Amino acid sequence: MECPNCGSEMVKGNLIGDRYAIKWQPADKKLVAGIFANGGFALKDNSSLFGRPKTEAYVCENCELLTVDLKTQRKK
């Protein structure tokens, strides 16, 4: 994948969660009871049955930019 900022080739990798799927939440929303994400969405978990949650992501080492393609990595 090409970096949208500088055009360099990005390094393919994964965001690894601990136990549950990684979630994205808008900055103007708050966690419910300090733990439950509200008003955002979960990222797709590509792990095997007993593996840790894993979402494909790309890093541009030139811009230090991390990107996730939500067309394929957003949990449906």
Q: Which residues here bind Zn ion, judged by CB under 5 A?
A: 3, 5-6, 8, 60, 62-63
The distance of closest approach from Cβ of residue 2 to Zn ion in the complex, given in angstroms and rounded to an integer, is 9
* 37/63 with CB nearer Zn ion: 63
* 4/40 with CB nearer Zn ion: 4
* 8/38 with CB nearer Zn ion: 8
| Alpha-carbon span 8 to 1, nearest angstrom | 9
User: Which region holds residue 44: left if phi is over 0, alpha if psi is between -120 and 50, else beta?
Assistant: beta
Closest CA to 11 of 47, 71, 64, 72: 64
